[in-house]
Structure 1
Amino acid sequence: MTLVVIGPVTNDLICIGENNFRKTGGATYYQSFIFDEFYKDYLAIVNCSDAKIVNDFPDSDKVKVVLKDDTHFFINNYPDMDNLDYREQLSNFAQIPIFPGDLEGFLPEKIDGFVINPLNRFDFPLETIEYLKSFNVPVFISIQGFLRVPGTESNNSYSIKLDNYGMLTDILSGVNAIFLDESEANIIGLDHDVDEMVITDASKGSRVICDEEVKIEAVKCDNIVDSTGCGDTYMASYIVKRLNNYSIKQSGEFASLIASKKLTKFGHY
């Protein structure tokens, strides 16, 4: 049985204070390092224009590339070294959707579940979401990409703002768990047909909305180096435990611990 993780890989520019770094990114990229350590039977499927980018993953044999004519590019700017919870973001808003036909040749015969990581609302058309739901296995979705829309044009990139998405109700219907932060929860509300809403709030901890509300304390980190990908790390860590039948509380506490460790490293976990 294989956990299938799907979503764009990116070329990123990370700006922390006066220091700039170029690196590979994207939720599927960051999560692959967690799955490679804690859930060995996984497959990552990424959409981009350069197949060589798989060499940056922990195990290139576990990555399949859906070749498109563009690659997502993000600038993640952290202007305040003392507050890495605050991030300014720009994106090229690549329009490189993944369709069911793109996936048919890659999917394994037996699947544990799907992890869906859009970086903008073009990545996963509703037909693709419905196709993945038809396998009747657990489905986990990161919400942020569906909410991203361009702001004002600046230096050939676009600033990002978050806005609700009319297709979201259909996309989320029947999903096992969705992952978002408090600002995104304020946009979409808490009334959705999902089993678990996992809501993070950076250094303030997280909470899971299910039949009840389960609160998870943040694990204190005194040496924050890079917070890019921290939410993706949390999501993958939480999924690992839930698929291994741990409770919501146990899964959240494990995810908080691993996310705090990622904060101390530049790049991936």
Structure 2
Amino acid sequence: MTDICCIGHITRDRIITQVPPMTTHCAGGSAYYMAWAIASLPSDILFHMITSVSQEVMPEVEKLRQAGIEVTAFESDTNVFFENKYGANMDNRTQRVLAKSAPFTLNQLKDVEARVYHLGTLLADDFAPEIVEYLASKGDVSIDVQGYLREVVGEEVKACEWADKLRLLKHTAILKVNEWECQTLTGMTDPYEAAQQIHDWGVREVIVTLGGGGSMILAEDRFYETPAYAPTKLVDATGCGDTYSAGYLYARARGMGYAESGQFAAAMCTLKLEHTGPFTHQIEDVYHVIRKNQ
């Protein structure tokens, strides 16, 4: 059986950074960043990516397949096109959506079998509530909440409420949020209190990333804290959260504990921050970052 099945759209991205001033065009999306991160690590877990793309982006699917990733690709008439514009501080980002893909359907996913289903949500309507409930009946559902808190008004990405949060969080085993998302979900400014609230709503493992403040995991009634590991240079934060999810789920699938998995994920993020594009390092590089910061 597949250990991790990641479901999400591959996007076309325009990334605009201020330091240094640069505009980059590339593929992206939560599932894309996770798949390349997994492809860079030892293949001792079974990973399956499910995506929906236009013919224009199908070459990216073929690259992933050539790298050894199992990919199921449904065809979509249109493809998600994101513009990510960063300020001098990489934690500050504005987004526009210039095109969208069709949402995933229950019929597309009904025959998928996995221990963990990671939903790489980009926009609030990517996955109907029934899909989450169905997948939770077959395995653990892991969600990066970012997409559920985004709606598109014209081309602008606006923050929105997650209308079905209480319905779906009780079916969510693992939830990753950043500090802003944590506060948006709960109305609480203290991330520890917010994480506890999310846990009380039914989430088994709550992961909160805190930017330069590191990250923490609430699991089995205990907090596990990981400091931020400073990159040698800060180039591009796009896909950093997805790289964290990849590292965490990979480590957990290999039997690592919560603290060790958090450290592994944080070290992968540090390496990802040093370049534009997906994680491309070796597992030895990840452990080097961890050892260097102990």
What TM-score comes out, normalization by structure 1 length? 0.89
1:161 is matched with which residue?
Answer: 158
Task: Provide the rounded CA distance (Å) in 2 between the counterparts of 1:227 and 1:246.
Answer: 26
Deviation digits for residues 204-255 of structure 1, max 9, x if unmatched? 1111123122221111113111111011001110111112222111111111
1:35 is matched with which residue?
Answer: 38
Is residue 67 from structure 1 mapped to residue 75 from structure 2 by the alignment?
A: yes
Task: Provide the rounded CA distance (Å) in 2 between the counterparts of 1:102 and 1:265.
Answer: 34
Q: Secondary structure at the match of 1:175?
A: coil
Change (3 A) 1:216 1:263: same
179-188 or 14-23: bigger deviation? 14-23
Kindly report structure 1 stretches of 4+ aligned residues shifted beyond 4 Å.
none
Task: Provide the rounded CA distance (Å) in 2 between the counterparts of 1:175 and 1:129.
Answer: 8
2:145 is matched with which residue?
Answer: 143
Deviation digits for residues 68-117 of structure 1, max 9, x if unmatched? 2221110011232xx22221211136251111111245x35xx2321111
**Aligned partner of 1:264: which letter?**
E
1:183 is matched with which residue?
Answer: 180
2:9 is matched with which residue?
Answer: 8
Identity of matched residues, %? 27
After TM superposition, the structure 1 = structure 2 runs for residues 1-269 of structure 1, keeping only pairs within 5 Å, are 1-2=1-2, 3-17=4-18, 18-38=21-41, 40=43, 41-50=46-55, 51-57=58-64, 59=67, 62-80=70-88, 83-92=89-98, 94=100, 96-104=102-110, 107-108=112-113, 111-135=114-138, 137-151=139-153, 153=154, 158-189=155-186, 190=194, 191=197, 192-210=201-219, 211-269=221-279
Q: Structure 2 stretches of 5 or more lacking a match? A: 187-193, 280-294
**Contact 2:226 2:262 (8 Å CA) reproduced:** yes
> Aligned-residue CA RMSD in angstroms?
1.8
**Aligned partner of 1:224: which letter?**
L
**Aligned partner of 1:29: which letter?**
Y
**Aligned partner of 1:180: which letter?**
V
Task: Provide the rounded CA distance (Å) in 2 between the counterparts of 1:266 and 1:162.
Answer: 25
Work out the number of aligned pairs and report it. 258
What TM-score comes out, normalization by structure 2 length? 0.82
Higher normalized helix content (fraction of residues): 2
Task: Provide the rounded CA distance (Å) in 2 between the counterparts of 1:129 and 1:92.
Answer: 27
**Contact 1:24 1:56 (8 Å CA) reproduced:** no
